[in-house]
Amino acid sequence: MFKYQGNIKKIKYKFTMPMFDSNPSASDSVPDSQAASVPDSQADSLLNPLFIRGINEFNRGEFYACHDTLEAIWMVAETVDKAFYQGVLQIAVAFYHLGNLNWRGGAILLGEGINRLQRFEPSYEKIAVEDLVDQAVEWLSLVQTAGPDGIAALMADLPRPLPHIQWVSA
């Protein structure tokens, strides 16, 4: 597996989001199409329902909503878990930025999310972290190759699918 070891200049940014309803609806449960791959512990509600909601939002390409949801968890998470939630939400926000053709924001947050998540490989909280990191690294390479002037073309004709978070069973 390729490990991202790039040197991304840190910038200060503030990303504020509106408040949301923290009660997941029935549509935020695990979709039937994923039911076979969802671990039993998830079905037993051992995972935070907001986490399931956030992953489902990510997988539907609802990156702004995913950030809202995972930020609510991140803010109250145990210190050891904060980097994990922050890494996932940074990758989500990176794709929100890329969708708005913000090359710099997308590249920086992809790199930061990758760096935060690598210590949680291969899996954590029942998701395949290594697979997510690999997908994000591939996208970071595409984004860096495109550069600021090529981001519109890259996002208009996606060369590969957007990342998809996989559930693991063990």
d(CA 154, CA 141): 12
Q: Which is higher by pLDDT, 130 or 8?
A: 130
Nearest to 84, CA basis, from 35, 46, 51: 51
Task: Kindly list the domain boundaries of the chain, sorted by start residue.
Answer: 48-156
Does the global pTM surpass 0.85? no
Cβ within 8 Å of residue 120, ≥6 positions away: 83, 84, 87, 129
**CATH match of 48-156 with 1.10.3450.10:** yes
Place of tokens 């924001």: 105
Q: What's the pLDDT tens digit per position in 91-142?
A: 999 999 999 999 999 999 999 999 999 999 999 999 999 999 999 999 999 9
What is the residue-averaged pLDDT of the chain? 81
Query: Is residue 168 over pLDDT 60?
Result: yes
C-alpha dihedral sign at 123, 128, 131, 137: negative
Q: Residue 170 — very low, low, confident or very high, per pLDDT cuts 50/70/90?
A: low
pLDDT of residue 49: 93
The answer on pLDDT for 153 being more than 70 is: yes
| pLDDT class of 47 with cuts at 50, 70, 90 | confident
